[in-house]
């Protein structure tokens, strides 16, 4: 089986960063289980599928490998990148996509769990949230950095931190701060300065955008309609005239209600001021059933945040606005430092490229068990995530090498390997509906090769 040969080469490559050789079987077994069509990708059902005649022993070894063994999840992600990235085509551009994803969780003991916004549920609820950076090209993307967000209540709770194994040196950081740390670490390793994409959860943070500028990274980041800017025809007042006493005034001033031209405007207000003839219909890519298109306009602006502490305006950038036909108001806003001569269609294309990370999360959660880790500790959480990404990396590499096939095999109906009849995993029934990304035969081939 050609795919099994490719898989073993991939496993050998990733094993180089594991240290002890006795961890290699854990890597193969765990990754194989994640790629199998189980509905629940926790340790017990994976152990039963990979080694049905020794479920208890396999369960213990897999649990130790993911929860306790001292190997580096960061080194694992690096190994995945070394395998996948050379297969990615960056001739039409590359992007760093920043996002976070939530995992609903009950109780209070699982590391980082707290009542916070969960994108998966679309509301505040008990969950864990992880921040990630993905590297994307036009045809594919792969997560390259991953870290659990530790809420302030966890960061300040020493007993809970110690019990969950949170590193002592880790301090509280906001999600934008975590993302910047990840980007800075990637750049320190020699990563290219691709354009950064993010949603408004990061884009509204002025310090986040300014740090990207300092790092020399262009960006297209979402913002909310309440963000204020200086559009054409609006600018702050100059510093107060020098009185001859004390320091020379250097700070800009905002006008009062009687001088609206010296007050910033919200991006929503700017959108309503744009002439109807300046909106253009743009198609950015082909969707599953139809071309994706909408109406867009853009204007050069300067961000307006705490101008009273500055002596000059920030550099001009693009404000990009989407207003679909039939909507009463604009749908989305972006601030961008793409070059001034960038065509509108290209700018929309780059702004919309963020959809790739949503597809990553969909596949990782629904098919590769990203959110199904049942342990409570910091190490296990990150180990499990990096192994889910390892499984995704293998399937992505197979797809890039064989674009007309899925998982290295022709896209045809497959039979689902059954669990032992005496085994029933906790929490969920075995057997999930197959999805194209899953590699249904790999677990069977692996079991045969291992003599199970």
DSSP assignment of 293-325 equals: EEEEEEEEEEE-SSGGG-SSPPPPEEEEEE--T
> Alpha-carbon dihedral of residues 148, 149, 154, 158, nearest 10 degrees?
50
Q: At what angle do helices 2-15 and 440-449 cross, to 10 degrees?
A: 80
Q: Which domain holds residue 151?
A: 2-197+358-449
Counted residue by residue, the chain has a size of: 452
- What local confidence, expressed as pLDDT, does residue 449 receive? 53
222 in a structural domain: yes
Residues 6+ apart with CB under 8 A from 241: 249
Residues 208 and 173 in one domain: no
- What local confidence, expressed as pLDDT, does residue 405 receive? 66
| 3-class state of residue 223 by DSSP | strand
Parallel, antiparallel, or unpaired for β 317-322 and 219-223?
Answer: unpaired
Please choose, from the candidates 287, 425, 449, the residue with its C-alpha nearest in 3D space to the C-alpha of residue 369.
Answer: 425
- What local confidence, expressed as pLDDT, does residue 122 receive? 84
Residues 134 and 30 in one domain: yes
Query: Which segments of 371-439 does DSSP mark as H helices, in order?
Result: 378-401
In whole angstroms, give the CA distance from residue 278 to residue 346. Answer: 17
Angle at 17 between CA 175 and CA 375, to 5 degrees: 50
Please choose, from the candidates 394, 409, 444, 443, the residue with its C-alpha nearest in 3D space to the C-alpha of residue 6.
Answer: 394
Residues 331 and 376 in one domain: no
Residues 387 and 341 in one domain: no
414 in a structural domain: yes
In whole angstroms, give the CA distance from residue 342 to residue 334. Answer: 15
Q: Among the three residues 319, 353, 387, which one is the final residue of a domain in this structure?
A: 353
- What local confidence, expressed as pLDDT, does residue 22 receive? 84
Q: Among the three residues 324, 353, 382, which one is the final residue of a domain in this structure?
A: 353
pLDDT tens for the chain, 452 residues: list them. 577 889 999 999 999 999 888 899 999 999 999 998 888 888 999 999 888 889 999 999 999 999 999 999 999 999 999 999 999 999 999 999 999 999 999 888 899 999 998 888 888 999 999 999 999 999 999 999 999 999 999 999 999 999 999 999 999 999 999 999 999 999 999 999 999 999 999 999 999 999 999 999 999 999 999 999 999 999 998 888 888 888 888 888 888 888 888 999 999 999 999 999 999 999 998 877 889 999 999 999 999 988 888 888 999 999 999 999 999 999 999 999 999 999 999 999 999 999 999 889 999 999 999 999 999 999 999 999 999 999 999 999 999 998 876 544 444 333 333 334 333 333 333 333 334 445 555 655 555 555 44
Secondary structure letter of residue 263 according to DSSP:
S
What's the total number of domains in the chain?
Answer: 2
In whole angstroms, give the CA distance from residue 379 to residue 111. Answer: 10
Q: Among the three residues 303, 329, 353, which one is the final residue of a domain in this structure?
A: 353
Residues 387 and 409 in one domain: yes
- What local confidence, expressed as pLDDT, does residue 308 receive? 83
289 in a structural domain: yes
- What local confidence, expressed as pLDDT, does residue 286 receive? 83
218 in a structural domain: yes
Residues 64 and 105 in one domain: yes
In whole angstroms, give the CA distance from residue 371 to residue 393. Answer: 17
In whole angstroms, give the CA distance from residue 27 to residue 4. Answer: 15
Q: Which residue has the tokens 């293998």?
A: 394
Global pTM? 0.88
Residues 310 and 215 in one domain: yes
- What local confidence, expressed as pLDDT, does residue 302 receive? 96
242 in a structural domain: no
Q: Which residue has the tokens 């921040």?
A: 131
In whole angstroms, give the CA distance from residue 332 to residue 352. Answer: 11
- Cβ neighbourhood burial of 147 (10 Å; 0-12, 13-18, 19+): buried
Residues 207 and 192 in one domain: no
Residues 7 and 134 in one domain: yes
169 in a structural domain: yes
Residues 156 and 298 in one domain: no
Residues 164 and 222 in one domain: no
- What local confidence, expressed as pLDDT, does residue 438 receive? 52
244 in a structural domain: no
42 in a structural domain: yes
Parallel, antiparallel, or unpaired for β 123-136 and 95-104?
Answer: antiparallel
Residues 323 and 389 in one domain: no
């Amino acid at each position: 089986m050609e795919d099994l040969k490719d898989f073993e080469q991939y496993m050998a490559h990733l094993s180089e960063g594991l240290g002890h050789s006795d961890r290699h079987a854990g890597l193969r077994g765990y990754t194989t289980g994640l790629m199998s069509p189980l509905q629940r990708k926790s340790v017990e059902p994976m152990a039963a599928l990979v080694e049905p005649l020794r479920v208890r022993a396999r369960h213990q070894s897999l649990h130790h490998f993911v929860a306790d063994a001292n190997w580096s999840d960061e080194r694992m992600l690096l190994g995945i990148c070394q395998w996948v990235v050379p297969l990615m085509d960056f001739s039409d551009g590359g992007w760093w996509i920043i996002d976070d994803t939530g995992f609903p969780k009950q109780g209070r003991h699982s590391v980082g769990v707290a009542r916070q916004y969960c994108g998966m549920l679309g509301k505040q609820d008990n969950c864990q949230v992880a921040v990630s950076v993905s590297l994307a090209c036009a045809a594919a993307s792969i997560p390259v950095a991953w870290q659990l967000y530790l809420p302030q209540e966890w960061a300040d709770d020493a007993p809970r931190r110690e019990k969950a194994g949170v590193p002592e040196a880790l301090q509280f950081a906001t999600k934008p701060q975590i993302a910047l740390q990840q980007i800075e670490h990637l750049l320190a390793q020699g990563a290219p300065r691709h354009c950064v994409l993010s949603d408004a959860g990061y884009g509204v943070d002025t310090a986040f955008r300014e740090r990207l500028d300092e790092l020399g990274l262009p960006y297209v980041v979402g913002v909310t309609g309440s963000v204020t800017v200086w559009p054409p025809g609006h600018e702050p007042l100059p510093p107060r005239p020098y009185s001859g006493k004390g320091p020379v005034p250097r700070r800009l001033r905002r006008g009062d209600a009687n001088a609206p031209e010296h007050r910033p405007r919200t991006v929503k207000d700017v959108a309503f001021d744009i002439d109807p003839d300046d909106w253009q219909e743009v198609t950015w890519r082909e969707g599953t059933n139809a071309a994706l298109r909408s109406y867009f306009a853009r204007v050069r602006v300067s961000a307006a945040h705490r101008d009273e502490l500055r002596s000059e305006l920030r550099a001009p950038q693009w404000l990009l606005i989407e207003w679909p036909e039939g909507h009463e108001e604009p749908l989305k806003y972006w601030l961008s430092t793409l070059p001034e001569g960038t065509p509108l269609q290209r700018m929309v294309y780059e702004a919309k490229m963020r959809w790739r990370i949503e597809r990553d999360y969909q596949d990782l959660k629904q098919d590769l068990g990203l959110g199904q880790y049942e342990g409570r500790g910091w190490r296990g959480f990150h180990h499990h995530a990096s192994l889910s990404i390892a499984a995704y990396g293998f399937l992505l590499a197979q797809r890039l090498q064989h674009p007309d096939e899925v998982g290295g095999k022709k896209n045809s109906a497959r039979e689902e390997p059954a669990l032992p009849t005496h085994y029933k995993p906790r929490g969920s029934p075995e057997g999930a509906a197959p999805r194209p990304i899953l590699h249904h035969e790999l677990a069977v081939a692996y079991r045969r090769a291992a003599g199970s």
